[in-house]
Structure 1
Amino acid sequence: MVCEAPADRETACLLADRVLVGAIDWLDDGTLDTQRRWQGRTPNESFLRWASVRSEADKAGLKGLFGHFGSKPGEPDALVARRALMLFMKADKAPDAVVLIRDSDADPRRRLGLEQARDDGRWPFQVVIGVAEPKRECWVLTGFEARAHEEKALDELEQRLSFHPVRDAHRLTASEHGAKNDAKRALKELMSEDPERERECLRDTPLASLQAQGSKVGLSKFLEEVRQRLVPVVSGTSPAP
């Protein structure tokens, strides 16, 4: 797992696990931990942090990772993703899959950059890409259904934004923390920084609803990536990468 913060890891792992259990008939919540392990480069690391990739690559002696991707220059995140994938190739035990989770920060080129890195070579593992558009919090908002005591906060937030913060979460594009259309601020106003309430949005909302409602925030693409690339790995039906 490559991401930037524990919340990103938890969100991606929870969603991926739901897809795995739903798609593999012999897998359930009770046996899940015996079939997969989420980690960073070693079992002692919960994830590889994007901000640490360059320094870790230098420590590992990885050289010559600059340059073009095919005949094109790298888009944002292409080079750092290439370094990250190379680090996993040099691990004592190569993983079966690497999951790259990133906020787009309203820059669609970030997904292109991750795809460039994935297409850069024949990696000995599957590469799963998840880009939250524009922020991870928008994935959580996609699964939000207001309870009775939350309806007032939702109405007030919609009035302040002049758009619906759940249906139009992709419009929460502010880069400045606390700005009017900041996704983190919207989530805080609706859920009062309650991590369990956030988990409920991702854990209890039907996957079909998340798939249908998450197209504009990158969630639908991530769920489909998990189905196409990770489910075969865990089920044992994966072709060679």
Structure 2
Amino acid sequence: MSEPAYDFGVVCEARADRDTACVLADRVLVEAIPWLDEEMLDTQRRWRGLTPSEPFLRWASVREEAKKAGLKGLFGHFGDKPGEPDALVARRALLLFVDSDTKPQAVMLVRDSDADDRRCIGLEQARGDKPWPFEVVIGVAEPKRECWVLTGFEAKAHEEEAVSNLEQRLSFHPIRDAHRLTASEHGAKNDAKKALEELTSGDLEREFECLRDTSLDTLRERGERVGLTQFLTEVRERLVQVMDNRSPQT
């Protein structure tokens, strides 16, 4: 089998983050590019880490990988401003892809904000640091990846009671107001991971359905306050153009 035509690098913290972002990005690609359909995806693009055989580059591994690679220019300001959170590690990650044996055509930086708005600014600083030889796509989940999945949750008949019970416990709607699930401690009252587990009963396939089956228009409408709308726009405006040279559709 021939190699895919496009290599897209992914930097994230865990496999679940990678799968969430890539499923959504694939859907936008198929929606936006007339000649591309779902059956063709694996022959056209590959999501990868520093090498094609790795599924993603983990944020926690970036510093050590940069040290092993002997990369220079890892510190310093961004323009005339100090780096915001994640700016320096994102710069290292992008330099690692520049230095890789087979450069990707795009790199996707995926991060939880953890309720810190400065993280998105930091990633944007890294993207604007230099003219990278690939497109850079940013996805920041506000405040957690699970909030993107909750945005796509459409209750089936047997799940409506669980949604009602969770809304009563939280005192806000877990889907419309997923951005309020800001707890940093797992198991806390407003923990996004706990809320998602309650609604999906920990079923990964049910979680996947939220990303795969809910319409992109619905995700865009609901996702403004959790960073999902912005991510889908990034993919549409930046990644689509790597595979398709037409102007973005509006």
Q: Pick the aligned partner of 2:155 from 146, 159, 167.
A: 146
Q: Which region of structure 1 is more displaced relative to structure 2, 102-111 or 62-71?
A: 62-71
Q: What is the CA distance between 1:64 and its match in structure 2?
A: 2.8
Whether 1:83 aligns to 2:65 is: no
Q: Pick the aligned partner of 1:29 from 6, 29, 38.
A: 38
TM-score computed with the length of structure 2 as normaliser: 0.94
Q: What is the CA distance between 1:236 and its match in structure 2?
A: 4.2
Amino acid at match of 2:111: R
- Residue in 2 that maps onto 1:226: 235
SS in structure 1 at match of 2:45: coil
CA distance in 2, matches of 1:191, 1:214: 19
CA distance in 1, matches of 2:12, 2:220: 22
Q: Which runs of 4+ in 1 moved over 2 A?
A: none
Q: Pick the aligned partner of 1:187 from 196, 205, 209.
A: 196
- Residue in 1 that maps onto 2:54: 45
Q: What is the CA distance between 1:34 and its match in structure 2?
A: 1.3
Give CA-to-partner distance per residue, 1:173-225, whole Å, 9 cap, x none: 00001000000000001001111001100100000010111000000000000
CA distance in 2, matches of 1:64, 1:233: 27
Q: What is the CA distance between 1:43 and its match in structure 2?
A: 1.2
- Residue in 2 that maps onto 1:161: 170
SS in structure 1 at match of 2:55: coil
TM-score computed with the length of structure 1 as normaliser: 0.97
Q: What is the CA distance between 1:235 and its match in structure 2?
A: 1.6
- Residue in 2 that maps onto 1:16: 25
Identity of aligned residues (%): 74
Give CA-to-partner distance per residue, 1:75-114, whole Å, 9 cap, x none: 0000000000000000011110000000000000000000
RMSD, matched Cα? 0.9
CA distance in 2, matches of 1:236, 1:6: 30
- Residue in 2 that maps onto 1:4: 13
